[in-house]
Chains A and B, each alone.
Chain A
Amino acid sequence: MAVAAVHSGGIAGHIHPEPQGFVRRYVFSLDHKIIGIQYIITGFVFFMLSGLLAEAIRTQLLNPNGGFVAAGTYNEIYSVHGSAMVWLVVIPLLTGGFGNLVFPVQIGARDVAFPWLNMLSFWIFPVSGLMLFASFLMGAPTAGWMEYPPVSLQGEAGTSMWCAAIFLVGVSSTITGINFVVTILKMRAPGMTFTRMPLFVWGQFATAPLLMIATTALAAALAALFIERQFGVPFYDPTRGGSPVMWQHMFWFYSHPAVYIMILPAFGIISEVLPTFARKPIFGYKLIAFSSMAIALAGFMVWAHHMFTSGLAPFLQLPFMIITFVIGVPTGIKIFSWTATLFGGKIHFTTAMLFAIGFVALFTLGGITGIFLAAIPFDLHVHGTYFVVAHLHYVLVGGSLMAIFAGIYYWFPKMSGRLMNETLGKWHFWLFFIGFNATFIPMHWLGVLGMPREVATYDPQFTFWNRFESVSSYLMTISILIFFVNLLWSIRNGKVAGANPWGGRTLEWQIPSPPHYYNFKHIPTVYGLPYDFSQPLPYKGLEEELTDSPPPVAAGAH
């Protein structure tokens, strides 16, 4: 039977016929690498838009009385900025973007388990993004990215649009999560046991169940909010028997796991970049892998630490505080493992490595303020102030976004076949690093002094530091512009990278850049961990990957 000959390697051995034509190749593509790149491009477009909103916020805060935009518009701006950065930038870039781009190759698969669902999942994403930004046309949401009722119940029509947009992008996330779980469980190459998977795959493996489970909880909360706004069915309105605190429970039951959705893949990226450029085996492989799972699991049990000021019973507050502290342990394990990886390594300070080291530093700071905030007495004092803003930007920008940049500089050669310019890259890093810290460090003491977040004006005593922050934030914008220039320039003019410019040892570096649509001519067999520098590569069956020989079969459609 012809089928048996083609599928000697099982489903992983199956090679689809190469798609023909621009549309099937690059627009409605089924190839996980193309879909990953589509996610990355779309994500960065939304990143630019919500970055502009961030600069509008900082420009407003140049003066205590604002004056750049009206106070109502200011509310719309920070609400859409937060929503877009979380749901349209960080989550899609880290899961749909880098996840699709890298992990199927790293486990030795030819594609994800459900390529059609993957394409569907991608195409939902730009549509929902446009819907979110279109809410400006009908009065954007004004209650922040958390959209607490009753304020969100009183918002303009755009709040309903916001519900629909976030619901849709949640559907996209859920599909991606299901797809990734099945792919990692069923499509690993022979010999790729769980304890031989690269740590980026572990990051995705810890994240995907969160995408799949937590996001549906958010879907329920959003559906109820939408129903209440459109049909007047009371869920959250306290005057009609509903409970606004219920929204907070349902929202944070999703959104606390969501912060791990936004950081676990980033941990994965860092765990790839650090050993490659320190030329040293990663320290504590199993600890890093299992601590990701521990974080994912514990992430479901801490949501109410966002609600210490919402009137939670004290006997409930205490366990939430303690479990939140406990999450610091697996996170600390990672930080120490990365530091130990660097210790005694032969460090190559490429741009990707700079971002990875910057990540470790800034994420540690953000994590420590997270421990502060978990302590109920301290949280009661700074809840709703700029201290929280500083904390969340240290973990989401200093953490997730730095990891995204590290990942872009690291995998750009694999995507395009060319290296990014290192000089521009270093300008990008240093301007971004300095600008970021100068923008967000003062927010810590502004918060402790009591400057409330999400307000269009502020007390004149805070003027100096707010101006300092705004000017520093422009520095970040300049660095981002340098990054985009570098990106566009390098696609055409970068140095040709070759298959493995960094000396990486995971599977994606053993095949050409950019890879063929089928990834591997022959599915390799895996004999060990990818991080043992100085040992021969633990793979067999890759001899033909870098030669011109054709793939063994181009099987017919099925």
Chain B
Amino acid sequence: MTAGSLAHGAPAEVDQLYVETRELRLQGFLLFLISDCVLFSSFIFAYLYMRNSGQGWPPPGIQRLDVAFAAWNSVVLFGSGATMHYALENFKHGHWMRYMWFLLATIVLGLGFLGGQGYEYTHLIYGEHVTWAGSGIFGASFFTLTGMHGFHVFIGVCYLTTLVLQSAAGVYTRGKYFGITAGTLYWHFVDVIWVVLFSIFYLL
């Protein structure tokens, strides 16, 4: 599949069966995101519950988290949301090369976010001696929730890398690109979760 054939080629064949299974997959995927959202919500509930259990927050002996660094890291993640959006739009309009560049940029930004998180974890664990198991409910809730989110970002990066390989192999055409739609939805979902986590861990 080359850029030319997508942009200027004959109109894509409309496969009726594909159109209808696409609807099913889209709904199924949205429902999956809802149930994933419940998973995060439960942990967020647990965090807020423990936070309000009367021990004060952050608990004695623990510094407030570094908002500035996390804010920059958030900008990286939200930027990746924007590039993912442009990747999908460019694919829809047949700009194949731009799609690939935006997709790669998304992957790089996603990895950048993970790197930032890794730096933050290292700083917390070795600099401030705040650990997962050894710092009471603070370590438990912070590392579990942000770790779970980071794991989602990692899965997303793997997914997008697969998309790059599949796209290079010509799997997706202008009429058939549900895999890219699903990836975009997932990536935006992970972004939105981060908005909530950033608010309740760093700003609250």
Contact = CB atoms under 8 A, between A and B. Distances in A.
Contacts of B49: 243, 246, 249
Interface stretch (B37-45, B75-83, B112-120, B171-179): B37-45
A185 B42 contact: no
Nearest to A215: B35
B49 to A, nearest CB: 5
Given A11-B20, A178-B28, A233-B133, A243 B42 contact: no
Given A178-B32, A182-B27, A233-B133, A243 B53 contact: yes
A3 B16 contact: yes
Contacts, number: 110
B45 A241 contact: no
A249 B43 CA distance: 12
Nearest to B38: A216
A110 interface: no
A242 B140 contact: yes
Interface residues of A, number: 44
Interface residues of B, number: 35
Contacts of B34: 212-213
Interface in A506-558: 558
Contacts of A150: none
A190 to B, nearest CB: 14
A355 B140 CA distance: 50
A6 to B, nearest CB: 8
A14 B31 contact: no
A113 B38 CA distance: 23
A284 B139 CA distance: 54
Interface in B143-163: 143-144
A227 interface: yes
A168 interface: no
B133 A213 contact: no
Contacts of B50: 235, 241-243, 246
A46 to B, nearest CB: 25
Contacts of A181: 27, 31
Contacts of B140: 233-235, 242
Contacts of B35: 174, 177-178, 212-213, 215-216
Contacts of B55: 241
A250 B41 CA distance: 11
B27 A185 contact: yes
A217 B45 CA distance: 10
Contact of B15 (A3, A174, A179, A219): A3
Q: Which 4 pairs between the two chains have the least Cβ-Cβ distance?
A: A220-B42, A11-B20, A216-B38, A241-B136
Interface of A: 1, 3-4, 7, 10-11, 14, 113-114, 117, 174, 177-179, 181-182, 185-187, 212-217, 219-221, 224, 227, 231-235, 240-243, 246, 249-250, 253, 558
23 contacts: A1-B13, A10-B16, A113-B24, A113-B28, A117-B28, A174-B35, A177-B35, A179-B28, A181-B31, A186-B27, A212-B35, A220-B43, A224-B144, A233-B140, A233-B143, A240-B137, A241-B50, A241-B59, A243-B50, A249-B45, A249-B49, A250-B46, A253-B42
Interface of B: 13, 15-17, 20-21, 23-24, 27-28, 31-32, 34-36, 38-39, 41-43, 45-46, 49-50, 53, 55, 59, 132-133, 136-137, 139-140, 143-144
